[in-house]
Amino acid sequence: MIKRDRIVITGIGLTSPNGNDLCEFRKNILAGEVRFQNIDLRYIGKVIAGVCSYNPLKYQNKKEVRAGTRAGSVSVYCAREAVADAGISINDSNRSRIGIYIGITEHGNVETENEIANISNYNYDVKFWNHYHNPRTVANNPAGEVTVNMGITGPHYCIGGACAAGNLGIIQGAQQLMLGETDIAIAGGVSESIHTFGIFASFKSQNALAYHENPNKASRPFDLDRNGIVVSEGGALYILERLEDAKKRNARIYAEIAGWSTNSDGTSYVLPNPERQAECMANAISHAGIDAKDVNILNTHATATKAGDIQECEAIRKVFASSGKYPFINNTKGFIGHAMGAAGALELAGNIPSFQDGIIHPCHNIDQLDPECDMPGLLSKEKTVLEPQKIRFILNNSFGMLGINSSLIIKRFED
Q: How far apart are CA 88 and CA 107, in angstroms?
A: 29
Query: Is the confidence at residue 1, as pLDDT, over 70?
Result: no
Asked whether the predicted pLDDT for residue 149 surpasses 80, the reply is yes
242 and 274 part of one domain: no
197-63-147 Cα angle (round to 5): 85
Query: Does 237 reside within a domain?
Result: yes
402 and 355 part of one domain: yes
pTM: 0.97
At 230, which amino acid appears? V
pLDDT, residue 63, reads: 96
Please tell me whether residues 139 and 193 are part of one structural domain.
yes
Q: Furthest-apart CA pair in the chain: how many Å?
A: 67
Please count the structural domains in the chain.
Answer: 2
Q: What is the pLDDT of residue 309?
A: 98
- How far apart, in whole angstroms, are the C-alpha atoms of residue 145 and residue 307? 37
| 163 is a domain residue | yes
Same domain, 175 and 57: yes
Same domain for 66 and 139? yes
298 plus 244 within the same structural domain: no
Pseudo-torsion of CA 181, 97, 145, 18, nearest 10°?
A: 90
List the Cα angle 11/16/20 in 5-degree steps.
55
In a domain, 115, yes or no: yes
**Exposed/middle/buried for residue 174 (C-beta within 10 Å: 0-12, 13-18, 19+):** buried
- Give the angle 185-249-16 at the CA atoms, nearest 5°: 45
Residue-level pLDDT at 24: 98
Flag whether 113 is in a domain.
Answer: yes
In a shared domain, residues 230 and 348: no
225, 202: one domain? yes
pLDDT tens digits, residue range 198-256?
A: 999 999 999 999 999 999 999 999 999 999 999 999 999 999 999 999 999 999 999 99
Q: Has residue 281 been placed in a domain?
A: yes
CATH value at residue 142: 3.40.47.10
Is 164 contained in some domain? yes
Domain with 311 in it: 261-411
| Residue 405 burial (CB count, 10 A) | 28
Q: State whether 272 and 224 are in the same domain.
A: no
Strand, coil or helix: what is 148? helix
Q: 183 with 305, same domain?
A: no
With a cut of 70, say whether residue 2 has pLDDT above it: no
Q: How far is CA 206 from CA 71, 105, 199, 306, in A?
A: 25, 18, 11, 12
Choosing from 220, 248, 276, the residue where a domain stops is 248
Same domain, yes or no: 329 and 210: no
pLDDT at 3: 73
Indicate if 92 and 237 belong to the same structural domain: yes
Q: Is the dihedral of CA 205, 211, 216, 217 positive or negative?
A: negative
161 phi and psi angles, rounded to 5 deg: -130, 30
d(CA 111, CA 109): 6
Domain-embedded: residue 255 = no
Closest CA to 7 of 239, 288, 245, 257: 257
Strand partners, 393: 411
The predicted-structure confidence for 161-207, as pLDDT tens digits, reads as follows: 999 999 999 999 999 999 999 999 999 999 999 999 999 999 999 99
Three-class SS of residue 194? helix
Picking from 197, 226, 248, the residue at the C-terminal end of a domain is: 248
Mean pLDDT of 378-401: 97
Predicted confidence (pLDDT) at residue 272 exceeds the cutoff of 70: yes
Q: Which of 248, 277, 296 is the last residue of a domain?
A: 248
Query: Considering the chain, what is the average pLDDT of its residues?
Result: 97
